[in-house]
Amino acid sequence: MHAGQSSIPSRFRDRADAGRYLAELLSDYAGRDDVVVLALPRGGVPVGSEVARALKAPLDVFVVRKLGVPGHEELAFGAIASGGAQILNSEVIRHVGLTNDLIDSVSERERGELARRERLYRGDRTDSELAGKAVILVDDGLATGASMRAAVAAVRAQNPARIVVAVPTAAPETCAALSSEVDELVCPLRPRNFYAVSLWYDRFEQVSDDEVRTLLEKAAGVSGE
Residue 95 domain-assigned?
yes
Is 9 within a domain?
no
Contact status, residue 51 vs residue 22, Cβ threshold 8 Å: yes
Asked if residue 114 and residue 37 are part of one domain, the reply reads no
Give Cα 13 to chain centroid, integer Å.
20
Whether 103 shows a pLDDT value over 70: the answer reads yes
Q: What is the pLDDT of residues 66-82, one digit of tens each?
A: 899 999 887 889 888 88
Give CA–CA dist 195/38, Å, rounded. Answer: 25
Could you report the per-residue pLDDT of 139-182, keeping only the tens digit for each? 999 988 888 998 999 999 899 999 999 999 999 999 999 999 99
Asked whether residue 179 falls in the same domain as residue 150, the answer is yes
Q: Report the C-alpha gap between 156 and 213 in whole angstroms.
A: 25
The answer as to whether 112 is a domain residue is: yes
Residues 78 and 171 grouped into a single domain: no
Rounded to whole angstroms, the Cα distance separating 141 from 156 reads: 21
- In whole angstroms, how far apart are CA 61 and each of 12, 71, 137? 22, 29, 9
Q: Which residue has the higher pLDDT, 20 or 157?
A: 20
What total number of domains does the chain contain? 2
Report pTM: 0.89
Residue 111 lies in a domain: yes
CA–CA separation, 213 and 70 (whole Å): 30
Pairing between β-strand 72-81 and β-strand 162-166 as defined by DSSP bridges: unpaired
- Whether 77 maps to a domain, the answer reads yes
Q: Are residues 199 and 188 in the same domain?
A: yes
Range of the structural domain that residue 111 is part of? 65-121
Q: What is the DSSP string of 200-218?
A: GBS--PPPPHHHHHHHHHH
152 φ/ψ sector (left φ>0, alpha ψ -120 to 50, else beta)? alpha
In angstroms, rounded to a whole number, what is the distance separating the alpha carbons of residues 168 and 11? 9
